[in-house]
């Protein structure tokens, strides 16, 4: 696998497609090996082998977050596969999105803001891809900072989830995501305890108790 290789996940609808094309051109000019679905392979009924092979082959995974991409079954499959494969995932925000619409696999990850234009965002993109710039991509370098953002993101999902469910399934899913994505032992212990019986109120798990447990446990 070439460390200088990038997979860009995007919506085939505008403005995601055009922005991906422009970003890919810039990264190629910088000497990177870039793969993106310029042929709109995702239009078929089955997950194209070419896309899966590209995710496996490329080192970095950039996800252009837009209102279209976060609701695209294809994009969500790509993100899930990239996380499962342990790729370096970099969310790039193209639209204004509320926290509850951000894919759970991206919870706690530092994102790059593309809403002010490609030229303004390129320095941050270059830094995270290691293109010889001296500044570090600070949030990704600190596992405690990253896990702290992950705690906040999962607690936010619980606050959103309680508006329509009180199922244990959501808490179990968030716990699994936390365990898979965290970088510290402290985080692992915290996320493993999310389904404790102490968080129940009667026969139902209490989302507020779980959220308070996450916040208080991380501050200790």
Question: Which segments of the chain belong to CATH 3.40.50.10140?
Answer: 5-139
- pLDDT tens readout for residues 77-108: 889 888 888 888 999 998 887 777 777 777 77
Three-state SS annotation for the chain: CCCCEEEEECCCCCCHHHHHHHHHHHHHHCCCEEEECCCCHHHCCCCCHHHHHHHHHCCEEEEEECCCHHHCHHHHHHHHHHHHCCCEEEEEECCCCCHHHCCHHHCCCCCEECCCCHHHHHHHHHHHCCCCCCCCCHHHHCHHHHHHHHHHHHHHHHHHHCCCCCCHHHHHHHHHHHHHHCCCHHHHHHHHHHHCHHHEECCEECHHHHHHHHHHHHHC
CATH no. for 5-139: 3.40.50.10140
Instruction: Average the pLDDT over 62-77 and give the result.
Output: 88
pLDDT tens-place string over residues 170-214: 898 888 888 888 889 999 999 999 999 899 988 889 999 999 999
């Amino acid at each position: 696998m070439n460390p200088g290789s990038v997979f860009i996940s995007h919506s085939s609808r505008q403005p995601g497609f055009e922005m991906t094309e422009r970003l890919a051109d810039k990264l190629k000019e910088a000497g990177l090996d870039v793969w993106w679905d310029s042929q709109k392979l995702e239009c078929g009924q089955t997950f194209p082998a070419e896309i899966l092979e590209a995710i496996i082959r490329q080192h970095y995974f950039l996800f252009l977050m837009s209102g279209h991409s976060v609701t695209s079954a294809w994009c969500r499959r790509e993100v899930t596969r990239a996380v499962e494969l342990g790729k370096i995932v970099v969310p790039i925000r193209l639209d204004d999105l509320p926290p509850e619409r951000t894919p759970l696999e991206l919870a706690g990850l530092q994102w790059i803001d593309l809403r002010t234009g490609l030229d303004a965002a390129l320095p941050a993109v270059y830094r995270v891809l290691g293109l010889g710039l001296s500044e570090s991509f600070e949030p990704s370098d600190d596992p405690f900072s990253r896990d702290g953002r992950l705690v906040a993101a999962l607690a936010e999902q619980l606050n959103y989830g309680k508006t329509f469910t009180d199922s244990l399934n959501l808490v179990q899913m968030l716990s699994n995501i936390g365990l898979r994505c965290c970088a510290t032992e402290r985080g692992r212990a915290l996320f493993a305890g999310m389904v404790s019986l102490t968080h129940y109120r009667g026969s139902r798990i209490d989302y507020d108790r779980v959220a308070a447990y996450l916040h208080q446990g991380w501050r200790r």
